[in-house]
Amino acid sequence: MKVGVVTFPGSNCDADARYAAQLAGGTVVSLWHKDTSIPADLDLVILPGGFSYGDYLRTGAIARFSPIMAEVVNFAAAGGLVIGICNGFQILCEAGLLPGALTRNHNLQFICKDVLLRTENTSTPFTSSIQPGTTLRIPIAHGEGCYVASPEVIQELEDSNRVVFRYVGDNPNGSMNAIAGIVNASGNVLGMMPHPERAAESILGSSDGMSIFSSIALHLGDTLCSA
């Protein structure tokens, strides 16, 4: 798989995302927020975590107007895989690629700790190698991870099985329905607050995050084999 990782001013998980994608066998290219094109042969674009534009105004609100984002929107519309992690999830919501929004954690604190996630949908390209119901231990690190949306949107997400990850036990940030990650209607854009790239090797405390990267590699491999 060929992976592009976008760096915005204030991104700080871009190097980790590149590393994890490489561990999963990916060839990685760095993309810059001012880029006005992305390589035609990319399989996956990652919007990494961080504090793009200092979180000014709202998290992700300014980054969505970066030149690269118009390309990411086109890439997603053409069926390309996109993952937004943490700040990347916030940017995807602001850009309208995913519904809802992320607001202040209910306890008003920045929370940095491992959480348990239940994989609710294992038929996405991002979770295809995960056994149904598997619990993953992956860290979160955010101040604004409380997922909110209108009751209609929440219902639609639940009915269409688009809640991919849900916090198990403790809901750390007060997200509606304990939502930790969702996909778009076409299933090719994933947004999640937890950081799979920070759980990429056992030396980091958990390698559960790798199951997401390896799912994507498997999904792309399957596509190639069946083509």
Partner 1 sequence: MKHFTAHVTVTLRRAILDVQGKTVEHALHSLHMPGLQHVRIGKHVEMSVQAADADHARELVERACQQLLANPVMEDVAITITEGFEGDHV
Query: Which residues contact partner 1 by CB under 8 A?
Result: 57-58, 61, 65, 93-94, 99-101, 103-108, 148-150, 174
Closer to partner 1 at the Cβ: 101 or 218? Answer: 101
Contact 24, 213 (CB under 8 A): yes
**Smallest gap from residue 122 Cβ to partner 1 (A):** 28
Closer to partner 1 at the Cβ: 38 or 193? Answer: 193
Closer to partner 1 at the Cβ: 104 or 137? Answer: 104
Query: Which residues have a Cβ under 8 Å from the Cβ of 143 and sit 6 or more positions away?
Result: 104, 105, 109, 110, 111
**Smallest gap from residue 127 Cβ to partner 1 (A):** 25
Closer to partner 1 at the Cβ: 2 or 58? Answer: 58
Is 86 noted as a catalytic residue in this protein? yes
Is 197 noted as a catalytic residue in this protein? yes
Query: Which residues have a Cβ under 8 Å from the Cβ of 227 and sit 6 or more positions away?
Result: none
Contact 60, 93 (CB under 8 A): yes
- Rg (alpha carbons) of the chain, rounded to whole number: 16
Which of 13, 86, 93, 146 is labelled catalytic?
86
Query: Which residues have a Cβ under 8 Å from the Cβ of 144 and sit 6 or more positions away?
Result: 55, 59, 90, 102, 103, 104, 105
Is 146 noted as a catalytic residue in this protein? no
Residue whose pair of structure tokens reads 């943490």 in the numeric block: 86
Which of 33, 142, 195, 219 is labelled catalytic?
195
Strands (E), the chain: 2-7, 27-32, 44-47, 81-85, 101-103, 111-119, 135-142, 146-148, 163-167, 179-183, 189-192
**Smallest gap from residue 144 Cβ to partner 1 (A):** 11
The residues carrying an active-site annotation are 86, 195, 197
